[in-house]
């Protein structure tokens, strides 16, 4: 929502300043110029990218409008879930969570955290790592390499739609010039006509350049930058899970592993140790009481 407000502020500031200088708003309304620029930009996007990247761009724009999903509450929920999971492993052994890993949608622990369960990248990251650990014969160093490789592949995939949208943003000023040149061509054909008509056509041509630059630096560029930050947030979330799992696989107690994960959380959404400990243990005790009943 903040991104939408930012774009609205861009247009409000530009149009407001134009009106303060006694400009006529109707001059900026040039459907033909907008059609040339927006249509060419859309065609460029379709020509340069396969279907899965186009779908990822649409999904990324929806996430930008919806705002960040990785807040303190989400991290606390993940730490609590993993604390319960690792406690179960410590008490009953790795084989006790085999069904949780094989069928996460049916796991009572995973179902307690719908945000995690619906994030298939994070869910598969954890389950694939634990599945390998259950199989046995893999050293923690090798597990870390596998998790790092998984994160690199996911981050590469997540940044492809960002690069695609950035490419379109970079092309928009050029497409604005194309629209302006076409406007000049039309103006040349109208020479000898009334001065008012020639002035209108020159203004329309200049609006093409204006729209190309505005859409680049005021819309497409900021949106691609926001999508890039969303990809970084997802990667940070996976990094927390990686640190947490690796610490436990090296032999740390569940609470120590959770604390290692907490330290890896970005500072602006990182809960304090007391917040994490109370949240994890209170929920764990509640879960054990419910199970006993």
Render pLDDT for 210-227 as a digit per residue (tens, 0 to 9): 999 999 999 999 999 999
First to last CA, the chain: 44
Kindly report, residue by residue over 126-150, the tens digit of the pLDDT: 999 999 988 887 888 999 999 999 9
Query: What is the C-alpha to C-alpha distance for residues 259 and 241, in angstroms, rounded to an integer?
Result: 11
Residue (of 250, 275, 281) closest to 262 by Cα position: 275
Give the C-alpha distances (Å, rounded to integers) separating 36 from 14, 190, 203, 218: 21, 20, 16, 18
How far is Cα of residue 268 from the mean position of the Cα atoms in its chain? 17
Token pair belonging to 104: 């996460």
What pLDDT, on a 0 to 100 scale, did the predictor assign at position 66?
A: 82
Between 280 and 210, the higher pLDDT residue: 210
Q: What phi, psi does 67 have (nearest 5°)?
A: 90, 175
Kindly report, residue by residue over 245-255, the tens digit of the pLDDT: 999 999 999 99
Mean pLDDT for all residues in the chain: 89
Whether 290 shows a pLDDT value over 50: the answer reads: no
**Max CA distance (Å), the chain:** 93
Query: What is the C-alpha to C-alpha distance for residues 155 and 228, in angstroms, rounded to an integer?
Result: 10
Q: How confident is the model at residue 283 (pLDDT cuts 50, 70, 90)?
A: low
Q: Give percent of the chain above pLDDT 90.
A: 61
Burial of 32 (0-12, 13-18, 19+ CB in 10 A): middle
For the chain, which residues make up each domain, given as ranges? 31-292
Instruction: Compute the average pLDDT of residues 73-101.
Output: 91
Between 293 and 183, the higher pLDDT residue: 183
Kindly report, residue by residue over 37-55, the tens digit of the pLDDT: 999 999 999 999 999 999 9
Whether 289 shows a pLDDT value over 70: the answer reads: no
Instruction: Compute the average pLDDT of residues 165-175.
Output: 94
Dihedral sign for Cα 48, 52, 54, 57, please.
Answer: negative
In this predicted structure, which of 65-79, 200-214, 271-285 has the lowest mean pLDDT? 271-285
> What single string gives the DSSP state of each residue in 107-119?
-HHHHT-HHHHH-
Q: Which long-range contacts (CB under 8 A, 24 or more apart) does 98-104 make?
A: 98/134, 101/127, 101/130, 101/131, 101/134, 102/127, 102/131
In this predicted structure, which of 9-13, 41-45, 135-139, 178-182 has the lowest mean pLDDT? 135-139
């Amino acid at each position: 929502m903040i991104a939408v407000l930012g774009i609205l502020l861009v247009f409000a500031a530009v149009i407001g300043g134009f009106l303060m200088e006694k400009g006529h708003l109707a001059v900026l309304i040039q459907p033909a110029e907008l059609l040339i620029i927006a249509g060419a930009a859309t065609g460029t996007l379709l020509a340069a990218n396969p279907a899965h990247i186009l779908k990822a761009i649409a999904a990324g724009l929806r996430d930008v409008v919806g705002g960040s999903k990785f807040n303190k509450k989400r991290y606390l929920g993940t730490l609590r879930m993993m604390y319960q999971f690792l406690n179960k492993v410590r008490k009953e052994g790795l084989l006790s969570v085999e069904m949780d890993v094989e069928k996460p949608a049916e796991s009572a622990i995973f179902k307690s955290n719908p945000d995690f369960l619906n994030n298939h990248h994070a869910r598969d990251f954890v389950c694939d790592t634990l599945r390998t650990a259950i199989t046995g014969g893999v050293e923690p160093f090798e597990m870390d390499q596998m998790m790092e490789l998984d994160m690199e592949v996911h981050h590469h995939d997540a940044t492809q739609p960002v690069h695609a949208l950035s490419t379109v943003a970079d092309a928009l000023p050029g497409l604005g010039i194309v629209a302006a040149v076409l406007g000049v061509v039309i103006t040349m054909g109208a020479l000898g006509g009334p001065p008012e008509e020639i002035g209108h056509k020159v203004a329309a041509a200049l609006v093409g350049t204006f729209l190309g630059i505005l859409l680049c630096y005021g819309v497409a560029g900021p949106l691609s930058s926001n999508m890039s930050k969303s990809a970084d947030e997802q990667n940070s979330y996976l990094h927390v899970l990686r640190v947490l799992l690796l610490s436990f696989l090296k032999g740390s107690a569940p609470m120590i592993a959770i604390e290692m994960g907490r330290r890896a959380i970005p500072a602006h959404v990182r809960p304090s140790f007391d917040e994490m400990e109370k949240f994890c243990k209170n929920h764990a005790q509640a879960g054990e009481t419910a199970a006993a009943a």
